[in-house]
Amino acid sequence: MKVILLADIKGVGKKDEVINASDGYARNFLFPKKLALEANKENMAKLKAKNDSKAYQKEMDIKAAKEIATKLNTISMKMIVKAGENGKIFGGVTAKEIAENLKKEYNIEIDKKKVLLPETIKTIGTHTVEIKLYEGIIAKLKLNVVS
């Protein structure tokens, strides 16, 4: 019997996957626990519509990420910090500060977790900061740190 899984089941399959299950397993276990639906025309049409919707949403997310990436690649952001006489910054510039500054100055909202900083910036000068916007889409922001 063909069934559509409604949840991930270890050793059987993943959610929204169409599998062949034995009649007894489907009727006595999967259906009563609401882990699967019978793969009839109506349910298959709903699954197709759901998958099409997911694909469209993913496409729109990628398009929006590419637009933001082109904006970020052209921006040269300036951050003013307190520094000692040898050019070392007190504290450092963190991913959170970069994300907040982007929102305040350029109205671009980015999660601080997407700002890829191996460590906080502790020196004055120009730095290139990578921002992961989506799977495979990474923008490079020029950050000018001055005191």
Q: What is the pLDDT of residues 9-38, one digit of tens each?
A: 999 999 999 999 999 999 999 999 999 999
Q: What is the pLDDT of residues 78-94, one digit of tens each?
A: 998 888 878 788 888 99
- pLDDT score recorded for residue 104: 93
Q: Which tokens in the block code for residue 118?
A: 């191996």
Nearest Cα residue to 82 out of 93, 67, 69, 96: 93
Domains, in order of start, for the chain: 2-60 (3.40.5.10), 62-146 (3.10.430.100)
Nearest Cα residue to 90 out of 117, 135, 130, 123: 123
Q: Distance between terminal CA atoms of the chain?
A: 70
Does residue 54 contact residue 61 with C-beta atoms inside 8 Å? no
pLDDT greater than 80 at residue 100:
yes
pLDDT tier for residue 147 given thresholds of 50, 70 and 90 = confident
The pTM for the full model equals 0.75
